[in-house]
């Protein structure tokens, strides 16, 4: 049954680390079908006209005539809708009207008086504060006070979601970020605090506070490792998932022990096992091409303690995945779906961002702590398809959450734009995936637990528009086709 086990492990790894770009189950029969659909889509939508237009735009771009390049690209790229304007953040209550001041004063006075009665707390504190935040979302101290007050009354989830909404609206505000980190640390979520600090540091490298957040991120990360150590080292059952995930029975390293060696060591162990079990593409030209782009984007991202690695796997499912420590894998099915270097760079930047923000590492840590290993161990030991399927579906729920996907998008698109690529590279790949979804070739179980590509597209549109990123940069259609011929 060795072969069966290997397939199971491959599936497990895929399930553990696939990001939302995964829209298909790794079922061989379906996969073949998928490739055909992808090809049809390409022939219909990205035939000679699109290619020729982009080729011409690239020619002007390379000559430095960015205006002309933009003009040409606009012929085949419909404009995005204007985003709803986000009001500029405001810290001064005096700049708002009397109603805002009334909400603020009423709540503050009641907080001082600290009423006992729950109804009174709701009516005198939370109602005015929630009205303040709803009606004056630009007033940042309102969000902070509401989060603090939820915290004061022991409503942790509400406190966090309040500050997260504010952080999403005003990601550049240090006061919001500091409050978010403070709450995450208070609620014993040091890795999440580390990710938040890192997200700021790499999203705003020009900020004078960037270096401080980066060092804070490392400090919180160490805190997380201590927490992990105390939670996992006492549990022997965890050996099961560790061995299964890294395929390394000889060493008998548990998942917890593996994680304690850090992100790079964890990623490397899993990557080596993954490579040994997969059909790897060894075409030197293709590998050199994706490695050049990957390394350039990783450098722009700024987290330089990783040994980044970019690999291609023979697999027709359109997928890409990021292991901890910057080990990135592209499926041939994903490369076939794409038509330009900007699209490749879009997916690449998104995946590198997952690694930079420790998303895979976090997910493994959650599995270790939640003892997911127990089920997995019995599933593998028994070699029973039903148990394995159960384990698979349990882990599918643990795919990167919507907020992690957004984080990777935000950071990824910043770097995509900074690299001179058309900032809608990832968007265009999403459009192709959405087209495939529309053809109904997607497992319903996956769709039900993930935001559909179209939702992602709307969000990416808004992101590109509000940040003013350039959709009409280098597209690189010829460079891409030279390496991945049609
Ligand atoms: Zn993702």
Split at pLDDT 50, 70, 90, the class of 438 is: low
Give CA–CA dist 39/35, Å, rounded. 6
Dist. CA 354 → ligand 1 center (Å): 7
Dist. CA 240 → ligand 1 center (Å): 27
Give CA–CA dist 57/249, Å, rounded. 54
Give CA–CA dist 436/336, Å, rounded. 13
Give CA–CA dist 171/410, Å, rounded. 10
Name the more confident of 486 and 211: 211
Name the more confident of 228 and 90: 90
pLDDT above 70 covers a percentage of the chain that reads 76
- 244: number of Cβ within 10 Å: 24
Give CA–CA dist 371/362, Å, rounded. 14
Split at pLDDT 50, 70, 90, the class of 165 is: very high
pLDDT of residue 369: 74
Region 291-320: mean pLDDT is 94
pTM of the model: 0.81
Strands (E), 11-166: none
Q: Is residue 384 scored above 70 in pLDDT? A: no
pLDDT tens track for 456-475? 888 899 999 999 999 999 99
Give CA–CA dist 477/58, Å, rounded. 8
Instruction: Give me the domains of the chain, ranges plus CATH numbers.
Output: 2-84+254-483 (no CATH), 93-232 (1.25.40.10)
Dist. CA 311 → ligand 1 center (Å): 17
Cβ-proximal residues to 416 (8 Å cutoff; 6+ apart), any chain: 297, 342, 345, 346, 349, 423, 425, 426, 469
Distances (CA, A) of 99 to 114, 128, 338: 22, 10, 53
Give CA–CA dist 289/178, Å, rounded. 40
Dist. CA 39 → ligand 1 center (Å): 23
Question: Residue 280: helix, strand or coil by DSSP?
Answer: strand
Long-range contacts of 182-186 (CB under 8 A, 24+ apart): 183/147, 183/151, 183/156, 183/159, 184/160, 185/220, 185/223, 186/151
pLDDT of residue 387: 30
Dist. CA 414 → ligand 1 center (Å): 15
| φ, ψ dihedrals at 322, nearest 5° | -120, 120
Split at pLDDT 50, 70, 90, the class of 206 is: very high
Give CA–CA dist 314/347, Å, rounded. 17
| φ, ψ dihedrals at 63, nearest 5° | -80, -5
Token digits for 401? 């959450």
Dist. CA 19 → ligand 1 center (Å): 4
Dist. CA 197 → ligand 1 center (Å): 19
Dist. CA 20 → ligand 1 center (Å): 5
pLDDT of residue 367: 74
Dist. CA 402 → ligand 1 center (Å): 9
pLDDT tens track for 64-122? 999 999 999 999 898 998 888 888 999 999 999 999 999 999 999 999 999 989 899 99
Mean pLDDT computed over every residue of the chain: 81
Through-space distance between the first and last CA atoms of the chain, rounded to whole angstroms = 39
pLDDT of residue 86: 80
Give CA–CA dist 263/254, Å, rounded. 15
The CA radius of gyration of the chain, in Å to the nearest whole number, is: 24
Split at pLDDT 50, 70, 90, the class of 18 is: low
Give CA–CA dist 410/168, Å, rounded. 10
pLDDT of residue 451: 54
Dist. CA 419 → ligand 1 center (Å): 19
Dist. CA 21 → ligand 1 center (Å): 6
Long-range contacts of 125-128 (CB under 8 A, 24+ apart): 125/149, 128/102, 128/103, 128/104
Split at pLDDT 50, 70, 90, the class of 403 is: confident
Q: Is residue 28 scored above 70 in pLDDT? A: no
pLDDT tens track for 184-201? 999 999 999 999 999 999
Among 196-200, 246-250, 268-272, which range has the highest average pLDDT? 196-200
Split at pLDDT 50, 70, 90, the class of 238 is: very low
DSSP one-letter code for 93: G
Dist. CA 460 → ligand 1 center (Å): 13
pLDDT of residue 271: 87
Q: Is residue 447 scored above 50 in pLDDT? A: no
Dist. CA 470 → ligand 1 center (Å): 22
Give CA–CA dist 432/438, Å, rounded. 10
Dist. CA 210 → ligand 1 center (Å): 24
Region 362-369: mean pLDDT is 79
Dist. CA 53 → ligand 1 center (Å): 30
310 beta partners: 328
Q: At what angle do helices 359-370 and 190-203 cross, to 10 degrees?
A: 170
The three-point CA angle 431-434-438 to 5° equals: 140
Q: Is residue 45 scored above 90 in pLDDT? A: no
Split at pLDDT 50, 70, 90, the class of 382 is: very low
Q: Is residue 378 scored above 50 in pLDDT? A: no
Region 125-140: mean pLDDT is 96
Distances (CA, A) of 229 to 189, 235, 254, 359, 417: 14, 10, 12, 19, 39
Dist. CA 289 → ligand 1 center (Å): 22
Looking only at the bridges linking them, the beta strands covering 309-313 and 320-323 are unpaired
- CA nearest neighbour of 82 among 347, 468, 370, 446: 468
Give CA–CA dist 340/481, Å, rounded. 7
Kindly provide the b/e burial profile for residues 412-430, where b requires at least 16 CB atoms within 10 angstroms of the residue's own CB.
bbbbbbebbbbbbbbbbbb
Dist. CA 427 → ligand 1 center (Å): 13
């Amino acid at each position: 049954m060795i072969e069966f086990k290997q397939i199971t492990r491959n599936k497990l790894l895929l399930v553990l680390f696939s990001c939302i770009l995964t829209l298909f189950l790794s079922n061989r029969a379906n996969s073949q079908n998928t490739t055909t659909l992808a090809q049809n889509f390409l022939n219909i939508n990205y035939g000679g006209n699109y290619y020729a237009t982009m080729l011409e735009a690239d020619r002007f771009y390379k000559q430095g005539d960015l205006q002309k390049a933009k003009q040409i690209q606009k012929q085949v790229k419909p404009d995005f809708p204007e985003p709803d304007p986000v009001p500029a953040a405001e810290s001064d209550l005096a700049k708002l009207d009397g109603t805002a001041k009334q909400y603020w004063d009423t709540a503050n006075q009641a907080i001082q008086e600290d009423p006992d009665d729950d109804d009174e707390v709701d009516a005198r504190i939370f109602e005015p504060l929630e009205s303040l935040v709803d009606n004056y979302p630009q007033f940042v101290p309102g969000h902070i006070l509401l989060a603090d007050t939820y915290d004061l009354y022991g409503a942790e989830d509400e406190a966090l979601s309040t500050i997260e909404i504010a952080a999403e609206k005003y990601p550049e505000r240090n006061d919001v970020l500091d409050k978010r980190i403070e709450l995450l640390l208070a609620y014993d979520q040091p890795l999440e605090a580390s990710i938040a600090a890192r997200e700021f540091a790499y999203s705003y490298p020009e900020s004078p506070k960037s270096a401080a957040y980066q060092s804070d991120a490392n400090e919180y990360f160490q805190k997380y490792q201590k927490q992990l150590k105390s939670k996992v080292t006492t549990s022997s059952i965890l050996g099961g998932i560790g061995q299964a995930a890294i395929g390394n029975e000889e060493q008998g390293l548990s998942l917890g022990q593996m994680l304690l060696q850090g992100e790079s060591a964890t990623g490397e162990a899993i990557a080596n096992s993954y490579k040994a079990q997969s059909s790897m593409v060894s075409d030197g030209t293709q590998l050199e091409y994706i490695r050049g782009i990957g390394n350039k984007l990783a450098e722009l991202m700024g987290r330089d303690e990783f040994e980044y690695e970019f690999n291609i796997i023979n697999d027709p499912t359109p997928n890409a995945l990021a292991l901890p420590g910057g080990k990135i894998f592209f499926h041939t099915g994903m490369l076939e779906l794409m038509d330009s270097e900007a699209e490749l760079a879009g997916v690449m930047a998104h995946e590198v961002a997952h690694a930079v923000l420790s998303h895979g590492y976090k997910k493994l840590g959650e599995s270790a702590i939640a003892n997911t290993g127990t089920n997995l161990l019995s599933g593998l030991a028994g070699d029973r398809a039903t148990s394995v399927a159960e384990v698979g579906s349990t882990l599918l729920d643990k795919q990167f959450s919507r907020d992690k996907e957004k984080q990777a998008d935000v950071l990824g698109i910043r770097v995509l734009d900074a690299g001179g690529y058309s900032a809608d590279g990832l968007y265009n790949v999403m459009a192709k995936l959405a087209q495939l979804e529309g053809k109904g070739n997607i497992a319903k179980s996956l769709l039900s637990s993930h935001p559909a590509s179209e939702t992602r597209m709307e969000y990416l549109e808004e992101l590109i528009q509000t940040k003013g990123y350039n959709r009409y940069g280098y597209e690189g259609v010829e460079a891409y086709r030279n390496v991945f011929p049609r």
